[in-house]
């Protein structure tokens, strides 16, 4: 008798900039989530699907966990992370940096340990520290009683295969949730918008990328021609629009080219990209705008 099929959802949770998105990409073996060196890059629950012989792992990348929200956008992102771990996940993968846990970290992550689901601790970025420091960091999370502890480097790939195997072993018996070979439940237009956001994080620092919302106004497939993608980047103030446009349009051309490279690399084909900047005053505090941009749980 052949073994029963295993399938389930794994929620990646952790502080901003712990490397959850990079680890998701490493586990999948392909880029699905955008990454940057700045915190709070992830704004959506992003599903990545990986199939194997007799199993299917459905990974949920989530926004970085915050103790309190500074605006309605952050409040919704906190709800998104909580819902993914509480309602969707069969396994919770807690991703942390290789530093000793602070009391506030243990208090914050205790909520995930108490869900009654297997909790795996992944100490990421271990390529940056020595073995003793990584082991000390892992030991400091002992009070959460994780089912397993793995020291990994999403950047180098170290320990990722062992972590993947551990996750698969903990999945429940279930038929697959998605068709074999399906990479995500998102459309290409969603990932095109995410690539624009990644370009914003590369080109700008501080407030600018966080003040931007990216909306795909039109995504037109044109057989025999390049697909046409028309994008609007919404900012909160006219001064931010001026920065993104630049002198004589120099900045917007740079952003368009950086976005185009990412979109074409992701899709694996050339496209035509048109990009505009518009002002939507204080959109992060505007509940209607948050709903329109897909940030309401």
Q: What is the pLDDT of residues 223-249, one digit of tens each?
A: 989 999 999 999 999 999 999 999 999
277 or 206: which leads in pLDDT = 277
The DSSP annotation for 92-111 comes to: EEEEE-SSPPPHHHHHHHHH
Q: 253-265, pLDDT tens digit by residue? A: 999 999 999 999 9
Confidence of residue 1 (pLDDT cuts 50, 70, 90): very low
Task: Confirm if 53 and 75 have CB atoms less than 8 A apart.
Answer: no
188-292 topology per CATH: GMP Synthetase; Chain A, domain 3 (3.30.300)
What are the extents of the domains in the chain?
6-170, 188-292
Confidence of residue 296 (pLDDT cuts 50, 70, 90): confident
The pTM (predicted TM-score) of the whole model is 0.93
Q: Which CATH superfamily is domain 6-170 in?
A: P-loop containing nucleotide triphosphate hydrolases (3.40.50.300)
CA 262 – CA 188 distance, rounded (Å): 13
Reported as type and span, the H/E element at residue 148 is strand 148-151
**Locus of tokens 């998105």:** 21
CA 283 – CA 292 distance, rounded (Å): 10
CA 25 – CA 22 distance, rounded (Å): 5
Nearest partner of 120 among 144, 141, 92, 158, judged by Cα: 92
Nearest partner of 6 among 177, 179, 161, judged by Cα: 177
- Pull the structure tokens for residue 157: 């790939």
Judge residue 236's burial from the number of C-beta atoms within 10 Å of its C-beta, 0-12 exposed, 13-18 middle, 19 or more buried: buried
> Does 188-292 match 6-170 at the fold level?
no
Reported as type and span, the H/E element at residue 277 is strand 271-279
Nearest partner of 200 among 70, 12, 41, judged by Cα: 41
Distance from the Cα of residue 190 to its chain's centroid: 13
Confidence of residue 201 (pLDDT cuts 50, 70, 90): very high
Judge residue 238's burial from the number of C-beta atoms within 10 Å of its C-beta, 0-12 exposed, 13-18 middle, 19 or more buried: exposed
């Amino acid at each position: 008798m052949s073994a029963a099929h295993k399938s389930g959802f794994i929620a990646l949770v952790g502080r901003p900039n712990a490397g959850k998105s990079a680890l998701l990409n490493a586990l999948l073996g392909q880029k699905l989530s955008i990454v940057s060196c700045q915190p709070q890059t992830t704004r959506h629950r992003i599903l990545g699907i990986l199939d194997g012989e007799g199993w299917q792992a459905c990974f949920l990348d989530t926004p970085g966990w915050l103790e309190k929200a500074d605006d309605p956008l952050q409040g919704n992102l906190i709800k998104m992370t909580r819902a993914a771990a509480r309602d969707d996940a069969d396994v919770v993968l807690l991703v942390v940096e290789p530093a000793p846990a602070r009391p506030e970290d243990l208090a914050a992550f205790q909520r995930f340990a108490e869900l009654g689901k297997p909790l795996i601790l992944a100490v990421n970025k271990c390529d940056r520290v020595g073995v003793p420091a990584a082991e000390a960091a892992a030991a400091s999370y002992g009070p959460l009683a994780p089912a397993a502890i793995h020291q990994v480097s999403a950047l180098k790939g170290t320990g990722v295969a062992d972590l993947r195997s551990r996750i698969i072993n903990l999945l429940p018996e279930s038929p697959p949730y998605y068709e074999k070979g399906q990479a995500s439940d998102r459309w290409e237009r969603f990932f095109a918008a995410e690539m624009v956001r990644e370009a914003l994080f590369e080109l700008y620092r501080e407030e600018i990328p966080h003040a931007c919302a990216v909306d795909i106004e039109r995504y037109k497939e044109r057989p025999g021609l390049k697909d046409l993608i028309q994008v609007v980047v919404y900012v909160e103030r006219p001064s931010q629009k001026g920065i993104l446009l630049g002198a004589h349009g120099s900045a917007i051309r740079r952003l368009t080219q950086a976005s185009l490279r990412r979109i074409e690399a992701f899709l694996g084909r050339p496209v035509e990209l048109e990009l505009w900047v518009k002002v939507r005053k204080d959109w992060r505090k505007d509940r209607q705008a948050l709903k329109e941009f897909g940030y309401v749980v």
